[in-house]
Structure 1
Amino acid sequence: MTDIRLLVLDIDGTIAGKSNDVTEGVKQAIAAAQQQGVQVAIATGRMYRSAVRFHQAVQSPLPLMSYQGALIKDPVSGKLYRHTPLSREHTLALLAALAELEAAERLSIHLYIDDQLHVREILTDTREYAERSGIEPIPVGDLAAYLNGQRAIKTTKLLALSPDPTVISELLSRFKQQYPPAELYLTQSVSTFFEATHPLSNKGAAVKYLAEELLGLTPDQVMTVGDNFNDYEMIGYAGVGVAMGDAPEGVKAIADWVAPSVEDDGVVSAIEQFIL
């Protein structure tokens, strides 16, 4: 029997599916785990402001790990635990490298600054993303010019969206050859997103920080559940790493257990299997 003291959950594709909400069944299973003394936390690629309602839905008393862990903050006290933004140099280099694809309208770019979404202009994919996230994007024109005109601002995350998954996989492959993991963390949370953050800003590093530095736990006392490549590191870190049924094969391969899909409340099965 495992002695899980911390359960860390991803949001999209894990506790929230097509409905964009946590189902009653998942809430009840999480509450049952908490009644057994297991602490529950959220780790997401989402913006902090977009993730807060899920943090509240699972009634987590712990800091919220947003932007793959680039921003770790407590929604109750407002205490900021960690913010590891991208360097200005890397942000501008990525914008320059993506400029041709953006000009050809093969992708659009999102910059996250001060927990606000900044875009060149509001396109259809940005509008859809904003609706799901419950946020209002800020159009600022040329993003590199905007950054250069605002010397003090820090970019928490860069996201490129393309309707063509091959564009995203080619970008990941190209930039991973150019930038080692010690320089940039590059990942995807869905097949149409390319995401770049500070090298310390991955969910594995965030969960390790929460578990070991804030809670004094060891990896074998941690269970994580996720559904995509941005969950890879936290699934690998935990004593019990669970992949959702819809996860890519590369993510399932490193998991200790594969749960049913999000639409089948796979998190409930995972909690019943390892905690209850």
Structure 2
Amino acid sequence: MFYGELNMKSSYKALIFDLDGTAMPVAFDALPSDRVAEAVMRAQKVVKVSAATGRPITVCRQILKKLNLTQPCVISGGTQIIDPQTEETLWEKRLSEEQVKQVVDVGKPYSFQILFTDEIYKHGVPAKDKKINGSERVIYFMDVEIKDEEAILSGIENVTDVVAHPVASWNHARIDIHITHAEATKKHAIEILLDILKVDKEDVVGVGDSNNDLPLLNSVGYKVAMGNATNKLKEIADYVAPSVEEDGLATVIEKVILKKPAN
């Protein structure tokens, strides 16, 4: 579907959306606009609303607080589901210490920063200097040079039961790579989240912008790609919303959840 076309059910029971590039612009300290936050507040009176993000709690706490979400949310790239009000872990899947060691070894020839689980951006160190202290939920390769992406992904493919997810970096000239257990992706986490929410796939609206949101959109009944989304997302979308700069998520809520007519 193209922007403006709305071929949908009369009602839905849940809304799940990505954060970076969907709820707010891609930037380390970005927050949702007031319009988006207000739309989310109204949506929560009608359906169950959750976020699904690659960010750990340390760098999505303020975002979840502004949105005042009350339903469980997927964080850390699909490795963890939390209660956003209490930050209690409801489900998680971790990389073993041996898997962590092998992934770090892949990064040792390079100079990018590596972060574990809840560590904060800009507090990382090169892989060759990284200390391993046990299992982790997610490993972040931050600010990877584009020319190194293929070799790094190839190296990670050799680690058993591990998957790598290239995503947009806050440094727009580079990329980030999120590495998780093969059973801790957005796809697995969304399936578990739907069980927790007690809703069927067909009754859920999903909204995203990047290729790592493909598992989210493939796990819901109504697929929405942002106007700034990748072509892959737009190709499978039921509806292409306005861009994040145009508060596209608010438009989705108004048109699909609240059924607000156009002016």
Shorter-chain TM range is: 0.7 to 0.9
Cα deviation, residue 165, structure 1: 2.3
Which one of 115, 122, 137 corresponds to residue 156 of structure 1?
137
Q: Is the 1:48–1:71 contact (alpha carbons within 8 Å) kept by the matching residues of 2?
A: no
- Give, as a single letter, the amino acid of the residue that structure 2 aligns with 1:48: I
- Aligned partner of 1:187 in structure 2 is 165
Distance change in 2, residues 1:108/1:225 (3 Å): same
- Aligned partner of 2:16 in structure 1 is 8
- Aligned partner of 1:28 in structure 2 is 38
Report matched runs for 1:87-166 at 5 Å.
87-100=96-109, 102=110, 105=111, 107-112=112-117, 115-117=118-120, 129-130=121-122, 137=123, 142-143=128-129, 146-147=131-132, 150=133, 153-162=134-143, 164-166=145-147
- Aligned partner of 2:4 in structure 1 is none
Whole-Å Cα distance in 2 between the matches of residues 267 and 169 of structure 1?
Answer: 32
| Length-normalised TM-score, structure 2 | 0.83
C-alpha distance after superposition, 1:38-78 (max 9, x if no partner): 11111110011211222222221112311112122213334
Distance change in 2, residues 1:2/1:238 (3 Å): farther
- Give, as a single letter, the amino acid of the residue that structure 2 aligns with 1:194: I
Q: Is the 2:168–2:176 contact (alpha carbons within 8 Å) kept by the matching residues of 1?
A: yes
Gaps of 5+ in 1: 118-128, 131-136
Which one of 147, 152, 158 corresponds to residue 171 of structure 1?
152
- Give, as a single letter, the amino acid of the residue that structure 1 aligns with 2:225: A
Q: RMSD across aligned C-alpha pairs, in angstroms?
A: 2.3
Equivalent residue of 1:260, what SS? coil
Distance change in 2, residues 1:166/1:139 (3 Å): closer
**More helix as a share of residues:** 1
Report matched runs for 1:243-258 at 5 Å.
243-258=225-240
Whole-Å Cα distance in 2 between the matches of residues 169 and 243 of structure 1?
Answer: 26
| Length-normalised TM-score, structure 1 | 0.79
Q: How many residue pairs were aligned? A: 243
Q: Is the 1:205–1:234 contact (alpha carbons within 8 Å) kept by the matching residues of 2?
A: no
Task: Indicate yes or no: 2:70 matched with 1:61.
Answer: yes
- Aligned partner of 2:217 in structure 1 is 235
- Aligned partner of 1:217 in structure 2 is 199
Cα deviation, residue 167, structure 1: 2.1
Distance change in 2, residues 1:80/1:8 (3 Å): same
Identical pairs, percent: 26
Task: Indicate yes or no: 2:263 matched with 1:275.
Answer: no
Gaps of 5+ in 2: 1-8, 170-174, 259-263
